[in-house]
Amino acid sequence: MQSTYLEFLHSKQSRAADTGLEIEADALNPMLFPFQRALTAWALRKGRAAIFSDCGTGKTLMQLEWARRVVAQGHRALIVAPLAVAEQTVAEGVKFGVAVVYSRHQADSPAPIIITNYEMVDHFDAAQFGAVILDESSILKNFEGKARTALIQKFRDTPYRLCCTATPAPNDIAELANHAEFLGIMTRAEMLANWFVHDDDGWRLKGHAAAAFYKWLASWAMMLKTPSDIGFSDDGYVLPPLNISSIIVDGDANAIAQAAGQLFMTTIKGVTGRAAARRATLEMRVEAAAKIINESPDQWIVWCGLNDEGRELGRAIPGAVVTEGKDSIETKLAAIHGFLSGATRVWVTKASIAGFGLNLQCCHNMMFLGVNDSYESFYQAVKREHRFGQQSPVNVQICVSDLELPVLENLLGKQKQDELMSRNLIEQCRLYEQEELGVMAMPKNDYRTDELANRHYRLMLGDCVERMKDVPDSSIDFSVFSPPFLSLYTYSDSDRDMGNSRTDAEFFEHFGFLISELLRTVKAGRIVAVHVAQVAALLSRDGYIGIKDFRGQVISAFSAGGFHYHGDITIDKNPQIQAIRIHAKGLAFQQLKKDASWMRPGLADYVLLFRKPGENATPIHPDITNEEWIVWAHPVWYGISETDTLNAAAGRENADDRHICPLQLGTIERAIRLWSNPGETVLSPFAGIGSEGYVAIKQGRRFVGIELKESYYATAMKNLDNAVALNNKATLWDLPQGVAI
């Protein structure tokens, strides 16, 4: 265990470790702006990091300074970039005073800093490099699964790793997961298990997981669109206007319908329909685009989706250069140089060839000769020109047929949605990022305590481990409770919540602190009753589908904590209700017919009994009959209604990802009547909405409860007061005062 409880809580916080170099930002190249120096110093300190920074914010310069500093420690650095970017990086290195050599094979150069293309990375031995940089690293998600996995595996032992790309799509979990996995921060499965839940809409961030997730994200990735997002001045970082307009040509609906295999065409459907619409309107779109470009004296880049589009447009525009995927690397590089130098006025190509990484600020006009549903491809293509440093308004024209208007509207709708979501994502991360960079300190957490005590109950708000220290030694006659069941960010975002444990080992280390307090506060020879259920093993979290023996782990934890295992009770449960409530694959009727190897019995609840060593000083005399004892002594308790609970709705918050499941009142009543006397003190360190206290008070006991979550604490207070009122109304006798705690 950790030496102190607070040290343990600190260890629970998910944060990527610092494994790199401590270099002050002010000591870095003065040619960098202050925010760039801060980001580079941070990335060097992390050792493995991602810079998600908008186009034109100087990612190439930051990469080069990062590589230079790592090389100074005796390592070689390999930069992997799209083909179009490599030459620009070499040129930036010359201006920046960092020698970068472009190479397609490792044997070609022994230089300390080499840049190559993603297509050539297999020609390099990762073991010969201590540092790797992925430029335009969002390209990871465009790789086939095997290629992406191979890249991750290739550099898994490289000590220094840096990923650089524009701000990722806010709802693209795969992109964040790919980066975290490449950097060796966390696997995709671990990330999903920690902070996400899968429902009918796919994977989504758990309501209570947001703060912890964004804080973890900021510990290895910096996201910004402007320097002010991380606490610096935006001077010199104002984007010029972006003018997006559309050119609509009338398509021949009958011809398109026939090409798509339809009798009549009312709207394009699917990939086949869209391809048919693009081909059937090719001549009209080329004519419209060529007319605009030929009448303009300015430079233009044209993005096409079909080779035939590019070829036809090339014939319609004198001097236009057309670049296709089949062209050699030399041909592609010549096209890039020709356009950047101004020798080529019109360049026609595809976003898949030149849409990532290139700085095309030499031009401020572009034409899309048709579009598809990929907003990322559209965004990246536009950002080749619309980036910080561009001096002119950027004009984007989109030429489509009237039947493709739904595709265009969908794309532009995605643009607006992405802008809103990206800004929200950055806002969520900015405080944590600024804390990481040392720009500002985060406000202290909002953990607080409270208490209400009277002669019937003492209810405490706060962390049960810490608040138990306010309970005197050997003052508790009986304890009954239901602990959290290894459920991350279901009910709160606090590290003090035991359910917020990433692993079983972390949960039981946390639980061990409470068990020590229970051993101290419970009287000798008395019982602690712990309600548990087995926990499902999930493929996303545990790597397999099955059952984890939570019951057995709790028994081991209490035994290791000094208690004697005294017995247990199985509580009968209805498997059909379980199947409906938790959608268990092993209980579904269709699975019985599909493959019964997955079938399993329903999961029972258990009440585990632990006895504190020593002799009980006050005999317990239960007010139950022999007939009741015959029923209650049975190893299985039948007749416990699953709906016999307090109303949990009042304590539920919108961010809760599950309904709170209070312990059944019948189970609590049997336990309290069996293992405590009237007038004695009953403890629950997980009071929830007050179920154990409600029954304890109604049974003439005094209650001590602790609850971490404020909404549950408030609801528990009302339920305890209701129990007091019911007792006062039902009887004329008053509860014993007992010993004040």
Cβ 575 vs Cβ 601: under 8 Å: yes
**Tally of CA atoms within 13 A in the half-sphere of 418 that contains its CB:** 17
User: What is residue 730's predicted lDDT score, i.e. its pLDDT?
Assistant: 65
pLDDT, one tens digit per residue, over 638-651 is: 989 888 999 865 65
Taking each helix axis from N to C end, the angle separating 59-71 and 34-46, rounded to the nearest 10 degrees, works out to 50
Integer Cα distance of 165 and 163 in angstroms: 7
Integer Cα distance of 162 and 44 in angstroms: 9
Cβ 368 vs Cβ 399: under 8 Å: yes
Cβ 705 vs Cβ 711: under 8 Å: no
Per mean pLDDT, which range of 62-76, 466-480, 481-495 is the poorest? 481-495
Cβ 571 vs Cβ 607: under 8 Å: yes
| Confidence label for 412 from pLDDT (cuts 50, 70 and 90) | confident
CA dihedral of residues 674, 677, 683, 688 (deg, nearest 10): 60
Integer Cα distance of 251 and 259 in angstroms: 13
User: What is residue 85's predicted lDDT score, i.e. its pLDDT?
Assistant: 85
The terminus-to-terminus CA distance of the chain in angstroms comes to 30
pLDDT, one tens digit per residue, over 72-125 is: 999 999 999 987 788 889 989 998 899 999 999 988 889 999 999 998 999 999
Residue 604 has pLDDT above 70, yes or no: yes
Per mean pLDDT, which range of 147-161, 200-214, 279-293, 715-729 is the poorest? 200-214
Cβ 497 vs Cβ 708: under 8 Å: yes
Tokens 């179009």, residue located: 84
Give the chain's mean pLDDT. 88
What percentage of the chain's residues is helix, strand, coil (to nearest 5)?
45, 15, 40
pLDDT, one tens digit per residue, over 162-181 is: 999 887 766 678 888 889 99
pLDDT, one tens digit per residue, over 492-544 is: 889 999 999 988 999 999 999 999 999 999 999 999 999 999 988 877 677 88
User: What is residue 175's predicted lDDT score, i.e. its pLDDT?
Assistant: 84
Integer Cα distance of 433 and 228 in angstroms: 12
Integer Cα distance of 185 and 444 in angstroms: 26
Residue 260 has pLDDT above 80, yes or no: no
Cβ 702 vs Cβ 722: under 8 Å: no
pTM higher than 0.95, yes or no? no
- Say which residue, 206 or 477, is predicted with more confidence: 477
The phi and psi torsions of 43 (rounded to 5 degrees) equal: -65, -35
Cβ 108 vs Cβ 325: under 8 Å: no
Tokens 């500002």, residue located: 440
Question: DSSP string of 378-401?
Answer: HHHHHTTTSSTT--S-EEEEEEEE
pLDDT, one tens digit per residue, over 266-296 is: 555 555 667 777 888 899 999 999 999 999 9
The one-letter code for the residue type at 53 is: S
Chain Cα centroid distance, residue 556 = 32
Residues 674, 675, 679, 681, CA torsion sign: negative
CB-neighbour burial class of residue 109 (10 A; exposed 0-12, middle 13-18, buried 19+): middle
Q: Which residues contact 91 (CB under 8 A, 6 or more apart)?
A: none
Which tokens belong to 176?
């964040």
User: What is residue 263's predicted lDDT score, i.e. its pLDDT?
Assistant: 44
User: What is residue 738's predicted lDDT score, i.e. its pLDDT?
Assistant: 42
pLDDT, one tens digit per residue, over 25-69 is: 999 999 999 999 999 999 999 999 999 998 889 999 999 999 999
Burial pattern 111-123, b for ≥16 Cβ within 10 A else e, equals ebbbbbbbebbee
| Confidence label for 250 from pLDDT (cuts 50, 70 and 90) | confident
Residue 3 has pLDDT above 80, yes or no: no
Residue 714 has pLDDT above 60, yes or no: yes
Integer Cα distance of 47 and 448 in angstroms: 36
Question: DSSP string of 330-346?
Answer: HHHHHHHHHHHHTS-SE
Q: Compute CA distances 553 → 184, 518, 567, 571, whole Å.
A: 30, 17, 15, 18
The phi and psi torsions of 352 (rounded to 5 degrees) equal: -70, -20
- Say which residue, 4 or 376, is predicted with more confidence: 4
Which tokens belong to 281?
């309107």
Where on the phi/psi map is residue 710: left (φ > 0), alpha (ψ -120 to 50), or beta?
A: alpha
User: What is residue 1's predicted lDDT score, i.e. its pLDDT?
Assistant: 42
Cβ 351 vs Cβ 376: under 8 Å: no
Which tokens belong to 339?
């356009």
Integer Cα distance of 282 and 269 in angstroms: 18
User: What is residue 736's predicted lDDT score, i.e. its pLDDT?
Assistant: 46
Residue 558 has pLDDT above 50, yes or no: yes
Tokens 């026609």, residue located: 348
pLDDT, one tens digit per residue, over 731-740 is: 544 444 443 3
Integer Cα distance of 298 and 212 in angstroms: 50
Taken in order of first residue, the domains within the chain and their CATH numbers are: 5-230 (3.40.50.10810), 242-429 (3.40.50.300), 450-730 (3.40.50.150)
What percent of the chain is modeled with pLDDT above 90?
Answer: 59
The phi and psi torsions of 630 (rounded to 5 degrees) equal: -60, -40
User: What is residue 584's predicted lDDT score, i.e. its pLDDT?
Assistant: 74
Cβ 712 vs Cβ 729: under 8 Å: no
Q: Which of 171, 218, 209 is nearest to 50 (CA)?
A: 218
DSSP 610: E
- Say which residue, 212 or 580, is predicted with more confidence: 212
Which secondary structure element, helix H or strand E, spans residue 117, and what is its range? strand 113-117
Which tokens belong to 212?
């912890």
User: What is residue 264's predicted lDDT score, i.e. its pLDDT?
Assistant: 46
The residue-averaged pLDDT of 113-139 equals 93
Residue 258 has pLDDT above 60, yes or no: no
- Largest Cα–Cα separation, the chain: 104
How long a stretch of residues is the chain?
741
Q: Which of 661, 486, 655, 483 is nearest to 577 (CA)?
A: 661
Q: Compute CA distances 546 → 251, 500, 661, whole Å.
A: 56, 21, 22
pLDDT, one tens digit per residue, over 344-368 is: 999 999 988 887 878 899 999 999 9
pLDDT, one tens digit per residue, over 319-342 is: 999 999 999 988 998 999 999 999
Residue 741 has pLDDT above 60, yes or no: no
Q: Which of 723, 614, 735, 676 is nearest to 480 (CA)?
A: 676
Q: Compute CA distances 108 → 78, 114, 127, 467, 508, whole Å.
A: 13, 10, 17, 66, 55
pLDDT, one tens digit per residue, over 436-466 is: 988 876 666 678 999 999 999 999 999 999 9
Per mean pLDDT, which range of 125-129, 451-455, 599-603 is the poorest? 599-603
